[in-house]
Structure 1
Amino acid sequence: MAYGKWIGGFLGFINTHSVLGAIAGFVLGSIFDVFTDRNRGERYSGMSPEDIQNSQQDGARNGFLFSLMVLSAHIIQADGKIMHSEMELVRTFLRNSFGENAVAQGNEILHKLFDYRKQKGEYVWKQQIRSSCQEMAMSMPEEHRVQLIAFLAQIAKVDGRVDAAELEAIREIAQNLNLNPDIVDSMFALGGSSLEDAYKVLGISSSATDDEVRSAYRMMVMQNHPDKVANLGEDIREAATKKLQEINNAKEIIYKARHM
């Protein structure tokens, strides 16, 4: 399978001795051996500035996608069950982003991640997820990490019931990504129509001052602005655009209630 067409490039942008590198090596197999420290050091040799920029953007996207698959596998199994609806959500994302061929590839990657978790055991796996998140926190801008949390929230919600173990796992991921854990409540409140939901979307309480409301709204716009994730691809940009619309709706509900 042509992993390199949509995700294998990630391996050229990581430290081979990192936790994510170890996971990638297990999941992607021999492709991992192609990328050495020397290859990474020479990858830009003879390339034009435009080609270098495009390569860096591809690397950012591939890194985001592999991280997304690892964290998705973690949340799908968080409640001890692998739900068809959760797997299908990931497949739909891959299908819309890369076409039908990517669905089979992504499905195989998820199952290899499940096997990796079983092989390592729960304690080691969770330690590796924690370390992987810390790597992501150092290498990804905040806006990209916010989009990871948003997708994980979709996985947890897709079967119509959010298990306490799923919620706890996403909170822990957010914390290890150096994000405010309150952002998890915000993601789960998106799309709600009540005033209570609106406050959760902005990550504030109903006792917040008008200035705090405005400040929280500006922060949410910065974190979720589509232009900040444009290099991750049109699919991610569209998801951010939808979230921004829901953030704007939450702001309007609060402003109307407060006569602002």
Structure 2
Amino acid sequence: MRIWGKFFGFAIGFMFGRIIGGLIGLWLGHLYDKKSAELSGIIGKGANRQTLFFNTTFAVMGHVAKASGQVTENDIRIATLLMDQMQLKGEARKEAQVAFKEGKESDFDIKACLKTFRLISMGRKELLQMFLEIQIQTALSDARLDPKERSVLLTVAQELGFSASQLDELLKRWQAEFNFHQGGNNQQTTIEDAYDLLGMSEASSDQEVKRGYRKLMNEHHPDKLVAKGLPEEMMELAKIKAQDIQAAYDRVKSDRGMR
């Protein structure tokens, strides 16, 4: 039985509000102890951050893919491509396929799934953002965003603590990243895509561009993401995204004559 939350809650509440404050603190401490016990129980069952990230990613991918009405061959191709990029084989690949299938079921509780994921992830923004970006990639795999897919993405974003405007910004950045890949190299991509990928514009100062680039690289650093809970199998995805950010920055630097 956990009591430290109750003890400190009562003590702090009593200091500021005497008996009434102590009772309020006791109740808040009780809630804290209860949540800590739930979290310990989940982790004790082996559902660590990396395992949960892995399973939740593919389950929500299945749910996003089904949002437009039916899972298309392209949706399955994207999921398969992601598994290939992660070099998933044997049991790990089967787990991903099972999770994807579960997400497609009509009774899949996406909000409960995301609440557990956010709890285990301890609110780590970079980790949650990487998760959201993978779901965006799934939804835009056919180069269009169905209104129902956007509705699901908004649910994912809000459950993870992101606003509608932040989702729109990530959608814009991912589209620019997709165009960057389509271009093949820096000379064939547009400067507009490079700016969009960095979240900048031609009106941004050189200093703003540098700060934006450093911020993105810090958010998508593969080693840091793995340390925070990104499955090692997904490190390759983080590496690709970091390479795209670097390529966009190099394109902008070249265009501006920056050093």
Instruction: Identify the TM-score tier after normalising by the shorter chain.
Output: 0.5 to 0.7
Amino acid at match of 2:98: E
- The residue aligned with 2:52 is 63
RMSD over aligned CA atoms reads 3.3
- The residue aligned with 1:227 is 223
**So what's the TM-score if we normalise by structure 2?**
0.66
- The residue aligned with 2:77 is 88
How far off its partner does 1:62 sit? 0.7
In the alignment, the residues of structure 2 paired with residue 91 and residue 42 of structure 1 have an alpha-carbon distance, to the nearest angstrom, of 29
How far off its partner does 1:101 sit? 4.0
Q: In the comparison of the two structures, how many residue pairs are matched?
A: 206
CA offsets 1:39-66 (integer angstroms, 9 cap, x no match): 839949xxxxxxxxxx7xx711111112
- Unmatched 5+ residue regions in structure 1? 1-16, 19-35, 45-54
Q: 2:254 aligns with which of 253, 256, 259?
A: 256
In the alignment, the residues of structure 1 paired with residue 150 and residue 79 of structure 2 have an alpha-carbon distance, to the nearest angstrom, of 18
Q: 2:173 aligns with which of 179, 183, 186?
A: 186
- Comparing 82-91 with 103-112, greater Cα deviation is found at 103-112
After superposition, residues 89-238 of structure 1 pair within 5 angstroms as 89-94=78-83, 96-115=86-105, 118-119=106-107, 125=109, 128-129=110-111, 132-140=113-121, 141-179=124-162, 180-181=166-167, 182-191=169-178, 192=180, 193-231=189-227, 232-238=230-236
In the alignment, the residues of structure 1 paired with residue 99 and residue 231 of structure 2 have an alpha-carbon distance, to the nearest angstrom, of 20
Residue 88 and residue 172 in structure 1: after superposition, are their counterparts in 2 closer, same or farther (change >3 A)? Answer: same
Contact between 2:51 and 2:231, CA under 8 Å: does it hold in 1? no
CA offsets 1:105-164 (integer angstroms, 9 cap, x no match): 43333333332xx247xxxx5xx53x5445544442222212212221321233344434
In the alignment, the residues of structure 2 paired with residue 196 and residue 187 of structure 1 have an alpha-carbon distance, to the nearest angstrom, of 13
- Comparing 168-177 with 138-147, greater Cα deviation is found at 168-177
Contact between 1:146 and 1:224, CA under 8 Å: does it hold in 2? no
After superposition, residues 14-25 of structure 1 pair within 5 angstroms as none
Identity fraction in percent: 20
Contact between 1:76 and 1:86, CA under 8 Å: does it hold in 2? yes
Contact between 1:186 and 1:203, CA under 8 Å: does it hold in 2? yes
- Comparing 237-246 with 169-178, greater Cα deviation is found at 169-178
Amino acid at match of 1:200: D
In the alignment, the residues of structure 2 paired with residue 225 and residue 104 of structure 1 have an alpha-carbon distance, to the nearest angstrom, of 28
In the alignment, the residues of structure 1 paired with residue 115 and residue 204 of structure 2 have an alpha-carbon distance, to the nearest angstrom, of 31
How far off its partner does 1:102 sit? 4.0
How far off its partner does 1:97 sit? 4.3
Greater C-alpha Rg: 2
Contact between 2:60 and 2:135, CA under 8 Å: does it hold in 1? yes
Question: In structure 2, the residue corresponding to 1:190 is in which secondary structure?
Answer: helix
In the alignment, the residues of structure 1 paired with residue 92 and residue 159 of structure 2 have an alpha-carbon distance, to the nearest angstrom, of 29
